[in-house]
């Protein structure tokens, strides 16, 4: 099967729907073993004393053809039909093993529970990591499984509470949804997420699941090959087939040496440069006050600011980041943009943030009272937020720090926890972030998509909001420090040293047209 490719990036979609068995959990083999045990037991009893013999259940071919992705009753009737056997449907209350479709389904479930108890549930860590990272990026995620044991498996695997919507075999039966390759179960998940199929991705390991995703018109169908199934998944219509989800969405181009390409992409539009501070302009250090700019970076920022607008967008207080940079010609956005100061009267201070000041004072006091005895913890009060740094906290005390933060926020409503690198950033629970700060600054500059090309460099999860905003307009560059997380950025740099080199190249390239313009009159005949 083939289908038209839209060219949409995997991370440009709004929602992601994951299969359970074989994608997130390693329970497919337990299911296959339970089905084989039940069917072979039934076939032996069926042919006993007749001199005949039916072919036993094959955990490879039969599982793929009659079981994987389908609802329980469809699995039983489909396999039995392949052996020329037809049974009455029976009743859900039928005893396990009774010769009805329902009874055989109950017997399989009995065997599966035994195997689950004996062997437990293992997850595929890269797949679970992907789900968590998608949530961090603000994406919607759902789980779909044809198994009636979905809740039991999720609980055993520690996946409870990870999804915005869950459809399992029980819910499918209650709502009259057909099993895969019908798209019903996926379409129901997209409905629960309030998104259209065109902006959602399906992540599946089964041929029937891929066929269902294609039939439902989903924006991307990602096939996961857990063992020699790549060709069949591709033939079923998967847009991409991978054996390991750890690389999906992570293969971004290197921004080193990419300045000419970016300026070409700008196409004559004026550049506006936005920069995070910690982890971007300076390395991450043990204490915030030790994050000092190198002379080269400061000199380069001064050169850039003389050529094009430059804004430093930081989680720090605006006065703090302004003092650390020490340059007058830049725009400074502190507290993730709740407090903005710049040249020529550019400035803004959030009214909602100001209204939250009494609450922030209460939370600061409560945190210090509970964390005072924890070695290495730092509660840093900023004007519009509180940062709880735990980089220097012993691992044994980390659960206590998490517990304290959660308990304080549960009592003092109105703040939200935005996790960063070894820090909990507690901010007023208002619709504001670095992306919205970018939008405000661009409007203040009178910018439009036709006149300005925004460029954002950042390293933290809080920078993803800016990457989301700039996507499709300008360029976002993630500064990696060894992590390999999913990101909405379009390019990467390996660390602060490469950021320094990049900014030096950018300043040099931007200076060339100005120098050429000054020299041009002298060159005329």
Q: DSSP for 25-68, please give it.
A: BS-HHHHHHHHHHHHHHHHHHHHTTTS--PPPPPTTHHIIIIIT
Cα–Cα distances in angstroms (integers) from residue 272 to residues 24, 308, 310, in the given order:
42, 6, 6
User: Do 424 and 417 form a contact (C-beta atoms < 8 A)?
Assistant: yes
Domains and CATH numbers, the chain: 10-27+121-247 (3.40.50.1000), 28-119 (no CATH), 259-350+432-516 (3.40.50.1000), 354-428 (3.30.70.1020)
Of residues 276, 317, 433, 465, which has the active-site annotation? 276
* Residue found under tokens 């074989």: 22
User: Do 178 and 146 form a contact (C-beta atoms < 8 A)?
Assistant: no
Which of left, alpha, beta for 345 (phi over 0: left; psi -120 to 50: alpha)?
left
Cis amide leading into 158 (omega within 30): no
* Residue found under tokens 């943030």: 353
Supply angle C-alpha 160, 414, 346, rounded to 5.
120
Residue 276 appears among annotated catalytic residues: yes
* Residue found under tokens 């389904």: 105
Helix, strand, or coil (residue 490): coil
* Ordered DSSP codes for 439-476: HHHHHHTT--TTTEEEEEEE-SGGGHHHHHHHTTTSEE
Task: Specify which residues 479 forms β-bridges with.
Answer: 493
User: Do 391 and 422 form a contact (C-beta atoms < 8 A)?
Assistant: yes
User: Do 66 and 104 form a contact (C-beta atoms < 8 A)?
Assistant: no
pLDDT 10s per residue in the chain (525 long)? 545 544 467 889 999 999 999 999 988 888 889 999 999 999 998 877 666 678 899 988 898 889 877 878 889 999 999 999 999 999 989 999 899 999 999 999 899 989 988 888 899 999 999 999 999 899 999 999 988 888 889 988 989 999 999 999 999 989 999 989 999 999 999 999 999 999 999 999 999 999 999 999 999 999 999 888 899 999 999 999 999 898 787 788 999 999 999 999 999 999 999 999 999 999 988 888 889 999 999 999 999 999 999 999 999 999 999 999 999 999 999 999 999 999 988 899 999 999 999 999 999 999 999 998 899 999 999 999 999 999 999 999 999 999 999 999 999 999 999 888 889 999 999 999 999 999 999 999 999 999 999 999 999 999 999 999 999 999 999 999 877 889 999 999 999 999 999 999 999 999 987 665 555 555 544
Give the H/E segment covering residue 207.
Answer: helix 207-215
Alpha helices by DSSP H, listed for 227-356, are 230-236, 259-266, 295-307, 318-325, 351-355
Helix, strand, or coil (residue 405): helix
CA distance 173 to 178: 8
* Residue found under tokens 């507690």: 426
Closest CA to 311 of 447, 432, 431: 447
Please enumerate in sequence order all residues whose Cβ is within 8 A of that of 332, keeping only pairs 6 or more positions apart, or say none: 311, 312, 314, 318, 321, 322, 325, 340, 341, 342
CA distance 35 to 61: 13
The pTM score is: 0.78
Query: 310-313 and 270-275 as β-strands: parallel, antiparallel, unpaired?
Result: parallel
CA distance 42 to 108: 11
Task: Specify which residues 168 forms β-bridges with.
Answer: none
* Residue found under tokens 């990272």: 133
Please enumerate in sequence order all residues whose Cβ is within 8 A of that of 427, keeping only pairs 6 or more positions apart, or say none: 335, 336, 338, 384, 385, 415, 416, 418
């Amino acid at each position: 099967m083939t289908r038209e490719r839209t060219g949409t990036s995997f991370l440009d979609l709004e929602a992601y729907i994951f299969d359970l068995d074989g994608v997130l959990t390693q329970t497919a083999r337990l299911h296959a073993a339970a089905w084989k045990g039940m069917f072979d037991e039934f076939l032996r009893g069926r042919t006993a004393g007749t001199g005949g013999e039916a072919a036993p259940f094959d955990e490879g071919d039969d599982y793929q053809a009659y079981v994987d992705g389908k609802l329980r009753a469809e699995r039983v009737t489909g396999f039995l039909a392949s052996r020329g056997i037809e049974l009455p449907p029976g009743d859900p209350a039928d005893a396990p093993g009774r010769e009805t479709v329902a009874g055989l389904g109950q017997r399989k479930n009995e065997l599966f529970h035994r195997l689950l108890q004996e062997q437990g549930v293992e997850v595929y860590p890269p797949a679970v990591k992907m789900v968590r990272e998608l949530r961090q990026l603000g994406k919607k995620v759902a789980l779909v499984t044809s198994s009636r044991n979905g809740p039991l498996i999720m609980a055993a695997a520690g996946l409870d509470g990870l999804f915005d919507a869950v459809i399992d075999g029980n819910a499918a039966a209650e709502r009259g949804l057909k099993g895969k390759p019908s798209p019903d179960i996926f379409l129901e998940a997209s409905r629960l997420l309030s998104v259209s199929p065109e902006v959602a991705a399906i992540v599946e390991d089964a041929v029937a699941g891929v066929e269902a995703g294609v039939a439902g018109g989903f924006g991307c169908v990602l096939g996961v090959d857990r063992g020699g199934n790549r060709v069949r998944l591709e033939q079923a219509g998967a847009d991409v087939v991978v054996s390991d989800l750890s690389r999906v969405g992570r293969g971004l181009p290197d921004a080193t040496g990419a300045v000419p390409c970016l300026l070409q992409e700008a196409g004559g539009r004026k550049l506006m440069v936005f920069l995070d501070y910690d982890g971007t302009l300076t390395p991450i250090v043990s204490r915030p006050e030790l994050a000092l700019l190198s002379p080269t970076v400061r000199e380069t920022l001064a050169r850039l600011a003389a050529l094009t607008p430059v804004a430093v967008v930081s989680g720090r207080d605006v006065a703090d980041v302004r003092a650390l940079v020490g340059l007058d010609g830049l725009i400074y956005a502190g507290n993730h943009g709740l407090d903005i100061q710049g040249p020529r009267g550019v400035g803004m201070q959030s009214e909602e943030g100001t209204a939250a000041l009494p609450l922030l004072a209460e939370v600061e006091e409560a945190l210090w009272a509970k964390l005072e005895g924890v070695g290495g913890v730092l509660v840093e009060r900023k004007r519009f937020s509180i940062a709880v740094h735990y980089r220097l906290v012993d691992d044994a005390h980390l659960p206590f720090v998490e517990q304290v933060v959660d308990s304080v926020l549960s009592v003092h409503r109105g703040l939200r926890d935005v996790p960063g690198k070894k820090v909990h950033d507690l901010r007023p629970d208002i619709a504001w972030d670095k992306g919205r700060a970018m939008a405000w600054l661009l409007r203040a500059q009178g910018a439009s998509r036709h006149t300005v090309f925004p460029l954002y460099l950042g390293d933290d999860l809080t920078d993803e909001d800016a990457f989301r905003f700039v996507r499709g307009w300008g360029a976002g560059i993630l500064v990696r420090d060894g992590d390999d997380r999913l990101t909405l950025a379009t390019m990467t740099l390996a660390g602060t040293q490469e950021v320094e080199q990049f900014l030096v190249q950018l300043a040099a390239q931007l200076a060339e047209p100005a120098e050429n313009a000054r020299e041009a009159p002298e060159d005329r005949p």
